[in-house]
Amino acid sequence: MLKTEPCPTLLELARPVTGKTATEPERPYRPRLAGLLEGPQRLLLAVLDRIYGSAWNPLHRSGGIAALLLVVTAVTGIYLLVFYRVSDPYASVVAIHEQAWAGRWIRALHRYASDGALLFIVLHALKMLFAGRTWGARALAWISGVLLTLTVLFCGWTGLVMIWDLQAQALALESVRLLDLLPIFSMPISRIFAENDLSASFFFMNLFLHVALPLGLALLMLVHVSRVARPAWLPPAEVRRPILLAWILLSILLPLPLLEPADLLSIPGQVPLDLFFGFWVPAAQALPPWQHLLLWLGAVGASLSLVCWWRPSRAPEPSWVDPDLCTGCSQCYHDCPYGAISMVERQDSLELNGRHSEKVALVDPSRCVSCGICAGSCAPMGMGPPDRTGRHQLSRLRRFLDGARPQPDQVVVFACRHSGCSEGLPPGALVYPVECAGSLHSSMIEVALRGGAGGVYVLSCPPGDCLNREGPRWLEARMYHGREAELQERVDRERVRLGHFSAAERGRAHRNVESLRRAMADRHKAGDRPPHRNGAPAGPGRGKRPTGVRFSNQARRVAALAFTAAVLVALGRAASIPMGQTADKAELRLSWQTAATRIQIDLSQRQPDPSVPAHMQAMTETHLLAYRLRVLVDGQQRIDRRVAPPGVHGDRPLVVLEALPLEPGAAAIEVEFAPEPSSDPELAEAVGRAPRFHLLQAIESRPGRVVLVRLKEPGGLEVAQE
């Protein structure tokens, strides 16, 4: 029975990795606040790693899953667009919903996929935030990611409004309240939602936005990955297929409910809202529009400003190249995860004598994140971050071996410090922490074996969770597939292991390390001293291949299926959650627009102004009258305000849009809309002849309903009430 450390608890996994040694390379540069948030992130990752295993943890593929669900949203949206009609939007959605085979579940899949995409976008953003990947070379990706998230939100809002049900009404009304604050419209946009007579042009414009925004989304996605090499647009097939199957099953088994059609003469009370796209509606209904707008501006501004202050006090130094050692092999150029390396013609004075190539590697400091993967890719050890090139790695390792003096029954463990597996290793394991397994030069393994260790185990983080994207991938290729800077054939592969584990899989990682140590100890006791089996070197394909965690038992599969089902049901329920309070009051709404009254005064009889030339004297003077709006309910004055012609020059039509809460029941209302009196004798007579409107009427209001007062010229004010 192997004696290893017990599997860590979730609280232990939430603690940041500590225990820095003198031989460990410098820790990555990241914001201090990001380190404080490392615990919650590690806890969540640990929970999902235990349920799914690190190879299938959806958080490790959050960006790819979000892109996959956006593709599903686009494909299903094309189908729905074929049957949508702007002339009668709600009826067309009802027809889609009642289709015998495809319509209902495709509509649900369209909604659930968009909800899931937004969810994984947020999870991806939080993961990058907690890892401190928001500044420097990654600033463009962060800024474009924030804009991409906003675009997805806008696209979702326009899509929900297309249905024109109760949820669409709530979203539209609260959105236009914000738009009315912008001084770019000649009239309040809210006025077009005052009555149930929306034209098809509104729905056509909304449809145009809903179709055009995904084009901008595609451009933002290109910008988002423009500074990474080989972007993983979609998750691997073993993750992609279950995701698609799960979303399709959810759409079939839990179809979307069809809400009641929108009614603009009703007060939105408790309305089923999509939690992902309508989370802000209750706050918008409770706050004044300007406060709500400040919240949005503050959230977006704070997110964009992270590139300036969510950063470390000192930036890492970028990689550098020793041109005298560079052979022009371009392996670093191919391996760099961020496209920070290019091959250029030599500009130095070194002669091309067969030893020096025509081209040399050049690092772009603005794109380099100092990951060190190029150090592991450089066979002659001529490049990498300062003090982390292959030569520096070997120098530190030799000092480590001189102090540790490993024995044939011990193993040296090169452990990626971000995997969280280096703590609590069994006795006989000599831990040498590295910043990234991908930056480990293959010669380090050979030197460790020559230094007396019985074996070498490389503990890497899971491929999908590498802080530097492709570290485990290139490390495995160098160790087992002959990639440049490869592990030499003279190295006995039976003495070398590679494992990809997360912190939640620490117990299994430790068992694998102990297994290698036991094997090397037994081999030493048996007197198997030759470094190569049968005297022949082990080729790249021999020895143990990388190990990781798979769905190895039925209990884990059942747990993963149960957890997935619970998450999907929660996602489906979140797509329609009643929010808000039931409307217990009525509303008196006044809405109309009328041309401003113009009055021209003849100036020819006035005394000319001697300071103005005769040919420049004005003959007439135009005035636009301001009106006074007064509203009384049961004799109590509720509104008394001036209504002036809007516009820069004060020449736009007069617009009235008011809403008053009413107690349900009978009431007498009096509305007066008349021009303001003038003290100017020349205007007083004209003001007396200007149009004025007056309404005195008894009404009966109901809870949650609107009593609309509108201007019906030339008939004057009237009440429109259902």
CB neighbours of 140 closer than 8 A, spacing ≥ 6?
223, 226, 227
369-419 pLDDT, tens digit each: 999 999 999 999 999 999 899 999 999 999 999 999 999 999 999 999 888
At 607 the pLDDT is 72
At 542 the pLDDT is 44
At 544 the pLDDT is 58
6: pLDDT confidence band, cut at 50, 70 and 90?
very low
CA dihedral 345, 351, 354, 360 (to 10 degrees): -30
At 624 the pLDDT is 82
Q: Taking the CA atoms of 599, 603, 606 and 612 in sequence, report the sign of the dihedral they define.
A: positive
Q: Where are the domains of the chain?
A: 1-14+389-550, 58-309, 317-386, 586-720
At 124 the pLDDT is 95
166: pLDDT confidence band, cut at 50, 70 and 90?
very high
Does pLDDT of 1 surpass 60? no
CA angle 615/616/620 to nearest 5° reads: 105
Averaged pLDDT, 56-70: 94
Radius of gyration from C-alpha coordinates of the chain: 35
DSSP calls for 231-297: ---S--HHHHHHHHHHHHHHHHHSPPP-PPBP-TTB---SEEE-HHHHTTHHHHHHS-HHHHHHHHH
At 4 the pLDDT is 41
503-538 pLDDT, tens digit each: 888 889 999 999 999 999 998 888 765 444 333 333
698-709 pLDDT, tens digit each: 999 999 999 999
168/145 Cα distance (integer angstroms): 26
At 457 the pLDDT is 96
21: pLDDT confidence band, cut at 50, 70 and 90?
very low
Token pair of 88 as six digits: 């009668």
CATH hierarchy code of domain 317-386:
3.30.70.20
Q: Which residue has the higher pLDDT, 603 or 226?
A: 226
- Report yes or no on whether pTM surpasses 0.85: yes
Averaged pLDDT, 490-512: 91
CA dihedral 154, 158, 159, 162 (to 10 degrees): 170
Q: Which residue has the higher pLDDT, 347 or 339?
A: 339
Q: What's phi and psi for 667, nearest 5 deg?
A: -160, 155
Does pLDDT of 630 surpass 50? yes
Burial zone of 54 (CB within 10 Å; 0-12 exposed, 13-18 middle, 19+ buried): buried
207-249 pLDDT, tens digit each: 999 999 999 999 999 999 999 999 989 999 989 999 999 999 9
- E-strand ranges in 136-288 read 271-273
Phi-psi region of 275 (alpha: psi -120 to 50; beta: other; left: phi over 0): alpha
Among the residue ranges 73-87, 447-461, 485-499, 597-611, the one predicted with the least confidence is 597-611
Averaged pLDDT, 17-21: 41
| Residue 427: Cβ within 10 Å count | 8
114-125 pLDDT, tens digit each: 999 999 999 999
At 418 the pLDDT is 83
242/73 Cα distance (integer angstroms): 17
Q: What's phi and psi for 53, nearest 5 deg?
A: 90, 150
550: pLDDT confidence band, cut at 50, 70 and 90?
low
At 26 the pLDDT is 47
Q: Which residue has the higher pLDDT, 289 or 40?
A: 289
Domains 58-309 and 317-386 share a fold: no
- Out of 25-29, 133-137, 149-153, the most confident range is 149-153
Query: What's the whole-number average pLDDT of the chain?
Result: 86
At 551 the pLDDT is 52
Among the residue ranges 363-372, 540-549, 629-638, 661-670, the one predicted with the least confidence is 540-549
pLDDT above 90 covers a percentage of the chain that reads 60
At 167 the pLDDT is 95
247-289 pLDDT, tens digit each: 999 999 999 999 999 999 999 888 999 999 999 999 999 899 9
Q: Domain 58-309 is in which class? A: mainly alpha
Q: Which residue has the higher pLDDT, 525 or 25?
A: 525
- Residue owning tokens 């796209």: 277
Averaged pLDDT, 177-203: 87
Q: Which residue has the higher pLDDT, 13 or 594?
A: 594
Cβ(457)–Cβ(497) below 8 Å: yes
Does pLDDT of 3 surpass 50? no
Q: How does 456-478 read in b/e, with b if 16+ C-beta sit within 10 Å? A: bbbbbbbbbbbbbbbbbbbbbbb
At 559 the pLDDT is 87
Does pLDDT of 449 surpass 50? yes
